[in-house]
């Protein structure tokens, strides 16, 4: 079976798990199943203390050859171990969240192929690690990431916290089996639709007058909260606010459904205090991605979408960041 097809199959198997389980017990069960496939040395490599700050911060947009990750890579696991690892990741995510992850890895596999089999890229170079002891009640963390991906998922009973999380894609548009794939296409399409739904006065507030070359609060900027800018959603109409929430759900909806529902309720309550800012071109080539930067910021939220120039078409290389400045790494539930 092809690697990416195998991931899809695992996703479906995971989603058909026993319905009586709570999400937290299902994820803890998947974690323990994965750990049971490992030998002693592998378990030591994949497990970290829950409060290991260095491991928490060991993530990046860069390939692993440039920024080392902790844990075990998919490439050093047997087929059975890899299946269990991906089933664990899938159990912590929604269906569309895992599909996004799968496409980001697929893009990196495509990049590897197009870079003459460059060993710096590929689906085997994504790492999994567990911080703390998997439990249905006590908090613990699952990390999964590599090039253009950093999932930091804190499971604390029925609460699931997905921040900070980095998603990205290169190429951010590719064709596979005759089908065009844009792993972060919805993040692009929904954002430009929202911008075009604003009137001239709102656009004037939302569009920043300066260039943004990259993420402001990317890797290494934990604990920072910048002053919000742009258009406040309290100055939007109901339809525009609904569009903004729908755009936010592209990140908030990556985690499994019950955690995503709770997170969206929190962000909906904050919507009047949430800002939308845009920098760059206000048009897009049909079927492609925007080449503009945008930021959504609220009391419990920072989202950044930053196309990367890096010598090529910015529509084909995108970095995004998703944070909760009040609860990154699930610090709030962990403190209880």
Partner 1 sequence: MKPAPAAIAILIFACAPAAAHRLDEYLQGTLIAVEKDLVRAQIDLTPGVAVYPALLRDMDTDSDGVISVAEQRAYAVRVLRDLSLTIDGHRLTPRLLSVHFPGIEELRDGGGEIRIEFSADLPSGGPARKLIFENRHHSRIAAYQVNCLVPRDPDIRVAAQNRNYSQSHYELEYVQAGVQTRPLLSVWWPGDPAWLSALALLLLARFAWLWRHGRPVHYK
Q: Which of 132, 164, 171, 230 is in the footprint of partner 1 by CB under 8 A? A: 171
- The answer to the question of residue 76 lying near partner 1 (CB under 8 A) is no
Q: Which of 213, 265, 269, 282 is in the footprint of partner 1 by CB under 8 A? A: 213
Q: How far is the CB of 309 from partner 1 (least distance, A)?
A: 7
- The answer to the question of residue 286 lying near partner 1 (CB under 8 A) is no
For partner 1, the binding residues in 132-151 under the rule CB under 8 A are 147
* Dist. CA 28–CA 50, nearest whole Å: 15
- The answer to the question of residue 221 lying near partner 1 (CB under 8 A) is yes
CA nearest 333: which of 152, 143, 140? 140
| Nearer to partner 1 (CB atom), residue 82 or residue 300 | 82
Please state, as a whole number, how many other Cβ atoms lie within 10 Å of the Cβ of residue 88.
25
The helix (run of H) or strand (run of E) holding residue 41 is helix 40-46
Q: Which of 115, 193, 234, 283 is in the footprint of partner 1 by CB under 8 A? A: 115
- The answer to the question of residue 80 lying near partner 1 (CB under 8 A) is no
CA of residue 239 relative to chain centroid, distance: 26
From residue 43 to residue 62, the character string flagging contacts with partner 1 as x (rule: CB under 8 A) and all else as - is -----------------x-x
CA nearest 59: which of 70, 50, 48? 70
Q: How far is the CB of 318 from partner 1 (least distance, A)?
A: 13
| Nearer to partner 1 (CB atom), residue 210 or residue 238 | 210
By CB under 8 A, which span of 113-121, 241-249, 255-263, 327-335 interacts with partner 1?
113-121
Q: How far is the CB of 169 from partner 1 (least distance, A)?
A: 12
CA of residue 331 relative to chain centroid, distance: 18
- The answer to the question of residue 287 lying near partner 1 (CB under 8 A) is no
Query: CB–CB of 92/152 below 8 Å?
Result: no
Query: Rg of the chain's alpha carbons, rounded to an integer?
Result: 19
By CB under 8 A, which span of 51-59, 184-192, 211-219, 327-335 interacts with partner 1?
211-219
Binding-site size, partner 1 (CB under 8 A): 55
- The answer to the question of residue 111 lying near partner 1 (CB under 8 A) is yes
Orientation angle between helical segments 79-92 and 3-15, nearest 10 degrees: 50
Please state, as a whole number, how many other Cβ atoms lie within 10 Å of the Cβ of residue 71.
21
Q: Which two tokens stand for residue 121?
A: 């890229």
Q: Which of 31, 74, 84, 161 is in the footprint of partner 1 by CB under 8 A? A: 74
CA nearest 131: which of 111, 115, 152? 152
148 dihedral zone (left: phi>0; alpha: psi -120 to 50; beta):
left
For residue 227, what is the DSSP state?
A: P
* Dist. CA 165–CA 149, nearest whole Å: 8
- The answer to the question of residue 282 lying near partner 1 (CB under 8 A) is no
Q: How far is the CB of 128 from partner 1 (least distance, A)?
A: 13
* Dist. CA 230–CA 30, nearest whole Å: 42
Residues in touch with partner 1 (CB under 8 A): 2-4, 60, 62-63, 65-67, 74-75, 82, 106, 109-115, 117, 120-124, 147, 170-171, 173-177, 209-214, 216, 220-221, 224-227, 229, 309-313, 316-317
């Amino acid at each position: 079976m092809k690697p990416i097809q195998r991931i899809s199959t695992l996703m479906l198997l995971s989603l058909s798990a026993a319905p009586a389980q709570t999400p937290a017990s299902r994820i803890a069960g998947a974690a323990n199943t994965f750990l049971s496939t490992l030998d002693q040395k592998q378990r030591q490599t994949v497990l970290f203390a829950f409060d290991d700050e260095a491991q928490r911060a060991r993530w990046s947009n860069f390939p692993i050859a440039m920024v080392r990750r902790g844990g075990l890579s998919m490439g050093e696991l047997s087929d059975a171990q890899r299946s269990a690892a991906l089933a664990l990741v899938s159990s912590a995510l929604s269906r569309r969240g895992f599909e996004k992850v799968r496409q980001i890895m697929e893009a990196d596999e495509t990049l590897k192929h197009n870079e003459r089999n460059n060993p710096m890229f590929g689906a085997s170079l994504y790492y999994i690690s567990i911080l703390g002891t998997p439990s249905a009640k006590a908090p613990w963390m699952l990390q999964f990431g590599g090039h253009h991906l950093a999932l930091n998922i804190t499971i604390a009973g029925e609460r699931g916290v997905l921040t900070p999380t980095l998603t990205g894609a290169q190429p951010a548009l590719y064709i596979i089996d005759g089908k065009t794939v844009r792993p972060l296409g919805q993040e692009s399409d929904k954002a430009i639709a929202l911008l075009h739904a604003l009137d001239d006065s709102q656009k004037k507030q939302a569009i920043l007058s300066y260039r943004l070359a990259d993420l402001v609060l990317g890797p290494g900027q934990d604990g920072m909260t910048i002053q919000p800018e742009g258009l406040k959603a309290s100055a939007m109409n109901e339809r525009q606010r609904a569009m903004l929430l729908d755009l936010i759900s592209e990140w908030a909806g990556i985690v499994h459904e019950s955690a995503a529902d709770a997170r969206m309720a929190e962000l909906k309550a904050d919507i009047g205090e949430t800002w939308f800012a845009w920098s760059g071109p206000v048009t897009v080539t049909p079927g492609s991605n925007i080449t503009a930067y945008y930021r959504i910021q609220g009391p419990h939220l920072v989202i950044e979408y930053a196309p990367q120039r890096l010598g090529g078409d910015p529509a084909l290389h995108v970095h995004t960041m998703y944070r909760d400045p009040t609860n990154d790494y699930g610090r709030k539930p962990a403190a209880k």
